[in-house]
A and B are shown apart, each in its own frame.
Chain A
Amino acid sequence: METVAVIFGGRSAEHDVSIVTALASIIKPLELTKKYRVEAVYIAKDGAWYWDEKLKDINLFTSGKIQNLLERTKPVAVEFSGGMRLIKSAGGLSGRKQVQEIDIVFPAMHGTYGEDGSLPGLLDMAGVAYVGCGVAASALAMDKVLAKQQAVANSIPVSKFVAFTKAEVQTDNTAAVSRVTSALKYPIFVKPAHLGSSIGISRVQNDTELRNALEVAAHYDEKVIVEEAVQNLIEVTLPIIGNDQPQAALLEQPLTKAEDFFDFETKYMQGGKKGKGKGSKGAQGYSQLPADLPPALYQAAEATGLAVYKAFGCSGIARVDMLIDSKTSEVYFNEMNPLPGGLYAHNWQRAGISSIELVEKLIAFAKERHAGRQALATTFSTNYLQQF
């Protein structure tokens, strides 16, 4: 039986979202397959790693008892030399050191130090198979500025945007505002370039709001992106899985008014109660599934999503967010999410793939990519050293 380590939590603003993704959408279905030994590896907010069977229980986190557990548990030592091993120091009745070799890693980390390519980088170094996008795709996706530039380079339409560093915003906020207003028209969105789950995002209508929003975004991130709002907006999102032959789920339309764009509270805390009309309650609250679009527009959006997935070199799983101008039928790439919250299992289920099938497919994609990489030549014999 292969051992899968599900790594979750982490030093990220989306720490709590990661816990729910790991426990509800990954660990439970993986265990139900009865094909894998599943190890829960939790990274606390301070960055310490823990490995314990008790970490699979959501009540531990919802009740706040996690703190008690962490206080009386030693962090696990993780070895990344020629694979991945979890090592628990000697203790307990047996007094034996516990070592667990990991065959596949299933990262369930959202945001920084996880979804941004850091964890895939570590796992690449270790040479262990893992689920989801690699370093490059993750890093691109998690930088909204680089992501837009990558899309433009691949002839995928994006809304007009301007980018700033934190220093640029903080040293001369007025210049930043005038640079934005000369290039873009209100309403405008201001976002930290690397954060997900709508943290630090503002929708602004005038210079004063813009100035404040830039400061808020710069408070969260080293880089800020400012985008012109798409008119006659229909916001859609498309979960995709696969390596070389990606497969799309259903195009999903969050049911929010333009002025009530998703913020963190709406997405995760209120169950999407700001949403209007009928819809299904998914990981991000109420949404229309599948999106009610004319067939040609639906196909265009799906094609754009798949094109983005390929252009970014994604593998395993990702979700592409797009904006549609309903009058012009123009589809714009907005953002790419290398690890959709809850894997967007609700969408895959409606698309005909159960959560168990989903995690099994993702494991298979991880193994397929890993096998491909193993087959690559990584050494090259030279007489360079002899000549030195």
Chain B
Amino acid sequence: MIRALIGLYGWRYPRTLVYMLQSTEYQVRPYLAWVVRTKDFGQVMQRRQLVMTKAARLLIEGLYLAMAALIIVSLSLIYVGHWHGVIGAVPLGVIILLIYPYVLAYLAVVPLVLGRLLISRPRERKLIVQSEKIFAAHPAIKIAVAGSYGKTTMKELLATVLSEGKVVAATPANKNVAISHAYFARKLTGKEEMLVIEYGEGAPGDVAGFACTTHPDRAIITGIAPAHLDQYKTVEAAARDIFAVADYVKESEVYVNGDSPAVVNFIKPGYEVFTNQKCLGWQIKKVHVGLGGIKFQLEKGSKSLALESGLVGRHQLGFLGFVAALALELGLTPAEVRSGIAKTKPFEHRMQPYQLGGAWIVDDTYNGNLEGIRAGTALLQELSAKRKIYVSPGLVDQGMETESVHIEMGKLIAQATPDLVVLMQNSVTNFIQQGLKDGYFKGEVRIEPQPLEFYTNLGHFVAAGDLVVMQNDWTDNYA
């Protein structure tokens, strides 16, 4: 109680608010939702530190000034009420003194909203319009990558493999919204032969908007899963938005990941469907999956191509096979494709294996969707180990599907038969436990109330012979 009051009325409170804004990427709604559900502001900053950017510094200074002003006003009211008999001034002063932290929390968004409306949005709109012209005039083959999951992986694979024989530019990291595309366009030289553009859907209409601006020649749909359901409400609505990109390219140049069950209702006869068994007329055979990577062979008639990738997990097969086949179709030689596939390595925090005290840890903490959970649990099931451990806090942004998604997740975990399941205690833990029960899970379940402590001390929990799959990680704004 006392600690919570110190968190609310203490000197560090304005910094906490700015940290919350920064953690929610200055998005007003998630920030306010976080403010409303926070009981102890002193306990908010757990996972990261406040990064002192120019904007953060300005906001902190502004909030301290506002805090000082509110306190002065409230004390002045109390003073004039008490000493000069101004009616109602004392209670008003007391009320302001009591509620000023909440006033500050809401005041913090005012400059954001104003800045966004008056400065950012007009500037961004201008850049996006300019980028549309750059993309339209660019002679490169433009490949759009959309989907609820696997977009960044697919984009990186394409960039890595195609770069072996072509001049390729790809959108950086997970910068995948309109303004990121606009910045990307400004950096293009015009000499690129291929552009790989990731589409990060977030709300209905996003993908069509990206396609209008970037003028794709080919489109890849990496899969559909429950994601951003706070905006889309249903998986179908999200799928409709993602498949909107297909309206901007020829049907024969729409490539869909057939391993994603949710794509079925959206596939048109002219689309190219790739799976972990076949892609663009090639068969995927002689597969070997291990923590060191994947080995497989592409076969078509008398032709064959043996490939080896550092990526981990059978679910990567479809992507790897497809990228190799597409690269061949786009004119790369088999040697270039082999070399490109060999260069593909796990991306940071995405099915990234490493050793800790003799144990194998598969870090998939950037994974945030059910299909990723399916892939991770399948890997845990497939590999042998003396002791198997599964670690996850669950998924975020699952909207109305939160309960069903997490029950399904629990069943998937049970199916992988780990010896120990470590769940980070939060609002979805009970649903995962229900799924574990429904899946007749017989192993040990450990509920971890302090996730950061667990992750920091992982080395104390594991030993040689252990295989640990860690999927997703909730930042402070979700905890």
A interface with B by C-beta (< 8 Å): 28-29, 32, 346, 348-357
* One of B453, B457, B459, B463 near A353 (C-beta < 8 A): B463
A357 and B462 alpha carbons, distance in the complex (Å): 9
Q: Is the CB of A346 within 8 A of B357?
A: yes
Contacts of B457 in A (CB 8 A): 28, 32
Contact of B358 among A28, A350, A356 (CB under 8 A): A350
Asked whether, in the complex, the Cβ of B357 is within 8 Å of the Cβ of A350, the reply is yes
Task: Determine if A352 and B460 form an interchain contact, defined as CB atoms under 8 angstroms apart.
Answer: no
Contacts of A346 in B (CB 8 A): 357
Give 6 pairs: A residue, B residue, CB < 8 Å, sorted on A.
A349-B357, A349-B462, A350-B463, A352-B463, A354-B463, A356-B460
Is chain A's interface secondary structure helix, strand, loop, or mixed overall? Answer: helix
Task: Report, nearest first, the 8 A-B pairs whose CB atoms are least far apart.
Answer: A354-B463, A349-B357, A355-B460, A349-B463, A350-B358, A352-B465, A29-B460, A350-B464
Are B386 and A356 in contact (CB-based, < 8 A)?
A: no
Q: Which of B357, B454, B460 contacts A28 (CB 8 A)?
A: B460
B83 on interface, CB distance cutoff 8 Å: no
CA distance A352 to B465 in the complex (A): 6
Tell me which of B386, B457, B460 has the highest count of chain A C-beta atoms within 10 A of its own C-beta: B460
- Provide the residues of chain A in CB contact with B358, threshold 8 Å: 349-350, 352
Return chain B residues, CB-CB under 8 Å to A355. 459-460
Could you tell me the distance between the alpha carbons of A28 and B466 in the complex, rounded to whole angstroms? 20
Q: Give the distance in Å from the alpha carbon of A349 to the alpha carbon of B355 in the complex.
A: 12
Kindly list 13 other residue pairs between chains A and B, CB separation below 8 angstroms, not including A348-B463, A349-B463, A354-B460: A29-B460, A32-B460, A349-B357, A349-B358, A350-B357, A350-B358, A351-B463, A352-B463, A353-B463, A354-B357, A354-B463, A354-B466, A356-B460
Q: How many residues of B contact A (CB 8 A)?
A: 14
- In whole angstroms, what is the CA distance A354 to B453 when docked? 16
Distance of A5 from chain B, by nearest CB (Å)? 20
Q: Which has the most chain B C-beta neighbours within 10 Å: A351, A355, A357?
A: A355
Q: How far is the CA of A97 from the CA of B386 in the complex (A)?
A: 49
Residues of chain B within 8 A (CB-CB) of A357 are: 463
Q: Give A355's nearest chain B residue, CB to CB.
A: B460
Interface string of B295-317 (1 = CB under 8 A from A): 00000000000000000000000
Residues of B within 8 Å of A352, CB to CB, are 358, 386, 463-465
Name the residue of chain A whose CB is nearest to the CB of B454: A32
List residues 356-371 of chain B with CB under 8 A from any CB of chain A: 357-358
Residue of A nearest to B358 (CB): A350
Q: Which residue of A lies closest to B446 (CB)?
A: A34
CA distance A32 to B453 in the complex (A): 8
Report the bound CA distance from A32 to B463 in whole Å: 15
Which B residues from 445 to 462 make CB contacts under 8 A with A? 453-454, 457, 459-462
Least CB distance from B55 to A in Å reads 33
Inter-chain CA distance A352–B360, complex, in Å, is: 12
Asked if A32 and B461 sit within 8 Å, CB to CB, the answer is yes
| Contact A354-B465, Cβ < 8 Å, known A32-B453, A346-B357 | no
B177 to nearest A CB, angstroms?
40
Q: Which residues of A contact B463 (CB under 8 A)?
A: 348-354, 357
> How distant is the Cα of A362 from the Cα of B448 in the complex, in angstroms?
23
Chain B residue at minimum C-beta to C-beta distance from A358: B463
| Complex Cα gap A350–B358 (Å) | 6
Q: Which residues of B contact A29 (CB under 8 A)?
A: 460
Verify B464–A349 contact, CB threshold 8 A.
Answer: yes
Min CB distance B450 to A, Å, is: 9
Task: Tell me, rounded to whole Å, the shortest Cβ–Cβ distance linking B143 to chain A.
Answer: 45
In whole Å, how far is B420's beta carbon from the nearest beta carbon of chain A?
11
From B453, B459, B463, B465, residue with most partner A Cβ within 10 Å: B463
Whole-angstrom distance between the alpha carbons of A28 and B457 in the complex?
9
Q: Which chain A residue has the least Cβ–Cβ distance from B457?
A: A32
| A229 → chain B closest CB, angstroms | 33
Q: How far is the CB of A344 from chain B (nearest CB, A)?
A: 13
Which residues of B sit under 8 angstroms from A350, Cβ to Cβ? 357-358, 463-464
Residues of A within 8 A of B386 (CB): 352
Measured in the bound complex, the distance between the Cα atoms of B105 and A158 in whole Å is 74
- Would A356 and B357 count as touching, CB distance under 8 A? no
Bound complex: CA A349 to CA B463 (Å): 5
Question: How close is B56's CB to chain A, nearest CB, in angstroms?
Answer: 28
Residues from chain A with Cβ under 8 Å of B460 in the complex: 28-29, 32, 354-356
A371 CB → nearest B CB, Å: 25
Of all chain B residues, which has the CB nearest A24? B460
Bound-complex Cα distance A19 to B183 (A)? 54
Chain B residues whose C-beta falls within 8 Å of the C-beta of A28 in the assembled complex: 457, 460
* Chain A nearest CB, measured from B443 CB (Å): 16
Residue of A at shortest CB range from B448?
A: A34
Contact B461 A356 (CB under 8 A): yes
Give every chain A residue within 8 A of B465 (Cβ-Cβ). 352
Please indicate the chain B residues that have their CB under 8 angstroms from the CB of A351 in the complex: 463-464
Q: Nearest Cβ in chain B — how far from A75, in angstroms?
A: 30
Query: Nearest residue in A to B387 (C-beta to C-beta)?
Result: A352
A215 → chain B, closest Cβ, in Å? Answer: 43
Query: How far apart are the CA atoms of A161 and B386 in the complex, in Å?
Result: 45
